[in-house]
Structure 1
Amino acid sequence: MATLTQKTLDFNREIKLSNDGGSLSSDTGEFLFREFDEKIGFSKTLVQHLELNDSRAYYLHSNENLLRQKIYQ
């Protein structure tokens, strides 16, 4: 039975994608979006040209990460 070879992601070398039935996650699709985004520089380009008026006093996530989440969803 043929399986996909293991793929290490460039944006996070600790994440490995494979089809061997090991540790499973439903987030794999988002990892592929992130990998593609990093390769073409989409989020970085948006951050350079987009200015958000954000009045949050306390926050955990940067505007870049919030925007990335919205795009991937």
Structure 2
Amino acid sequence: MTLSLSPLKRRKVEVDFTGGDLTSDAGLVLFREVDKKLGLSRQLDKVLDDPRCTGRVLHPQIDLLRQRL
């Protein structure tokens, strides 16, 4: 069974459950898809206050949240 996910940097992403070599970060790809569909990190971003000085912010809070998750 093969499952096609959203492309990542113009690369086709497929999940194949037939076995073979394993990777320790495959769960991250699945989590990204779940977050994309449910909008969990976006909802979290809306309820958390960002105390940083907006004039000095280089990275949006949503990006930092997704990185930490």
TM range (shorter): 0.5 to 0.7
RMSD value over aligned CA atoms? 3.0
What is the count of residue pairs matched by the alignment?
65
Provide structure 2 residue ranges, at least 5 long, that are not aligned to the other structure: none
For 1:35, the equivalent position in structure 2 comes to 33
TM-score w.r.t. length of structure 2: 0.60
Please give the residue correspondences for 1:1-73 in structure 2 after superposition, counting only pairs within 5 Å: 5-10=1-6, 12=8, 14-19=12-17, 21=20, 25-55=23-53, 57=56, 59=58, 61-71=59-69
Counting aligned pairs with the same residue, the percent is: 34
Task: Give ranges in structure 1 of 5+ residues lacking alignment.
Answer: none
Runs of 4+ in 1 over 6 A off after TM superposition: none
Higher strand share: 2
